[in-house]
Amino acid sequence: MPLLGGRIGVLQATIHTKSKGISEVKLSHTLRSTSAVFDDPNLVSAAGLVPALALAESAGLRDLADEHLSVPTDKGANAGLKVTSLVGGMVAGADSIDDMALLRHGGMGRLFTRAYAPSTLGSFLRAFTFGHVRQLDAIASRFLIALGGLTGLLGASADPAASDTDTDLEVDRGYALVDVDDTIIEVHGYAKQGAGFGYSGVRGLNALLATLTVPGGAPVVVAQRLRKGSTGSPRGAKRLVGDAVRTARRLLGKNRPILVRMDSAFYGRRPVHAAIAGGAAVSVTVRMDKRIKAAIEAIADDAWTTIEYTDAIFDEPSGRWISRAEVAEIDFTAFAAQKKSDHVPGRLVVRRIPDFNAEKNKAAGQDTLFDTWRFHAFFTTTDADVLDTVAADKMHRHHAVIEQVHADLKGAALAHLPSGVFTANAAWLVLAVIAFNLTRAAANLTDRELAKATTATLRRKLIIVPARVATSARRITLHLPHAWPWESAWTALFDRVNDPPPSLAA
């Protein structure tokens, strides 16, 4: 079948398997007998945008932006269409404003009523103030909740009342996990407002994120904030944790237990109290100050339980792989030096591993408890009947899953922060999160394997699918590649969005 208007023949690839198991792909024609012409007005490179943006439309993205965004002047006109264009471009792989031009090729004009020029979208973003970014935060939260109802994302029900009445079922599902952490997005040059050197020693801007994960599911982002590059990790964490817990509650229902996990940078009364005020438990790494060391010394010798890591963990200080450790716990009140209303009772869970430098320390006359063992401790308010010492330690160690989300976003729309204006980049971060959650919700309508895949994998299998647009009897037909390896997943997404079950359509 001819491609590109019959100008060239299809290049058929053949695979030759050699005796050593090495395969190679060879062109069926030499380059001298091949030509290329960009002249077909009916081709599109990203047919997966059709069901993805249809899902966004069903979840009300454009209507939410029109209702809540108040960007002034003509630059803020048609905010819903501009937000949808930016999100659509990001879903298709755009990581800069210029990349939004990929929405304006071939037959895209026949599939979508309006796609703005990159310059128009750039002017729109640069008109944002901090207040408009907060409006976009509210849109992202409402949009995620709508996606949850439409797709069953994170086990959310289309009927919020159902989650509140089935208490036993909600508790049996275990803790839903809200992870909070920040990351540096590298930038170059001096033109970026707010750029600076933070804890990583890299010039950039600091993005603070909160993800929500349920057992057996993939994470979504429930709160986000862009800060200056030199900002300390806990700055603004109180408000972000509060926003994240509220969004999680609206997604999962008021009876589902939620656990907020944070590292030692966020061990402070403000983030911890924000989580507790929202009805969540906390699990936060502590810093080794005098009070923590005194509590560890008070743990009885027979209280330690030996655990074995499923996968050995590389210990950087000793330069060795660690496969065994011991854990114990002791009652502990966090922030006891503050006023009484700030006190938080809970448990101090401690994990210790042998210090392989202990013999050297002993020879030097330093044979003490903290030379024989190295300790890692965290404070938690979880119920000991639900999570015992070993289970609480195991759950806390998995907090690093949020790093995968950071890497995922940096491999997609956050590969760059495209503007020199700080508020434009802050808006870009929120839009990148919306695109991430939309892609995750779309994958949730396909199969279990894809539902946990990275954004890059989802884009390759579901979004960047070439198609030829044809019209017959006022009906548009997308002609997709024959024998597409992920045809069943793509078709499942298209069918669910085009004709959803009544319970989801409601």
| pLDDT tier for residue 170 given thresholds of 50, 70 and 90 | very low
pLDDT of residue 284 exceeding 70:
yes
* Helix-, strand-, coil-residue percentages of the chain, each rounded to 5: 45, 20, 35
Looking at residue 161, its pLDDT comes to: 41
pLDDT of residue 21 exceeding 70:
no
Q: Which pairing describes strands 305-315 and 281-285: parallel, antiparallel, or unpaired?
A: unpaired
C-alpha span between 506 and 502 (Å, rounded): 6
Looking at residue 252, its pLDDT comes to: 92
The CB-side HSE value for 280 (13 A sphere, CA atoms) comes to 31
> What token pair was written down for 87?
């999100």
| 397-415 average pLDDT score | 92
Q: Return mean pLDDT, the chain.
A: 86
Looking at residue 174, its pLDDT comes to: 85
| 269-296 average pLDDT score | 95
Lowest mean pLDDT among 73-82, 127-136, 210-219, 363-372: 363-372
pLDDT of residue 32 exceeding 90:
no
Report pTM.
Answer: 0.87
Looking at residue 164, its pLDDT comes to: 42
| 24-31 average pLDDT score | 78
| 329-349 average pLDDT score | 94
| 207-216 average pLDDT score | 94
Q: For residue 314, list its beta bridge partners.
A: 321
Q: Is 209 exposed, middle or buried (0-12, 13-18, 19+ CB in 10 A)?
A: buried
How many Cβ atoms from other residues are within 10 Å of residue 74's Cβ? 11
DSSP-assigned letters across all residues of 370-422: HHHEEEEEEEE-S-TTTS-HHHHHHHHHGGGHHHHHHHHHHTTGGG----SSH
Looking at residue 469, its pLDDT comes to: 95
Q: Is 138 exposed, middle or buried (0-12, 13-18, 19+ CB in 10 A)?
A: middle
Reference 187, options 403, 402, 425; nearest CA is 425
Residues 88/103, Cβ–Cβ less than 8 Å: yes
Looking at residue 318, its pLDDT comes to: 61
More confident residue, 226 or 372: 226
What is the percent of the chain with per-residue pLDDT over 90, rounded to a whole number? 68
pLDDT, tens only, 47-96? 999 999 999 999 999 999 999 999 999 999 999 999 999 999 999 999 99
For residue 267, the 8-state DSSP code is -
DSSP-assigned letters across all residues of 102-114: GGSSTTHHHHSS-
Largest Cα–Cα distance of the chain, in whole Å?
A: 90
pLDDT of residue 376 exceeding 70:
yes
Looking at residue 190, its pLDDT comes to: 79
pLDDT of residue 319 exceeding 70:
no
Beta carbons within 8 Å of 408's beta carbon, 6+ residues apart: 436, 454, 455, 456
DSSP-assigned letters across all residues of 243-266: HHHHHHHHHH-TTS-EEEEE-GGG
What is the percent of the chain with per-residue pLDDT over 70, rounded to a whole number? 84
pLDDT of residue 474 exceeding 90:
no
| pLDDT tier for residue 211 given thresholds of 50, 70 and 90 | very high
C-alpha span between 113 and 351 (Å, rounded): 58
Looking at residue 312, its pLDDT comes to: 65
More confident residue, 28 or 228: 228
pLDDT of residue 26 exceeding 60:
yes
pLDDT of residue 120 exceeding 50:
yes
Beta carbons within 8 Å of 350's beta carbon, 6+ residues apart: 296, 299, 327, 328, 329, 330, 375, 376, 377
Lowest mean pLDDT among 22-26, 27-31, 140-144, 425-429: 22-26
C-alpha span between 456 and 459 (Å, rounded): 5
Distance of CA 443 to the CA centre of its chain: 14
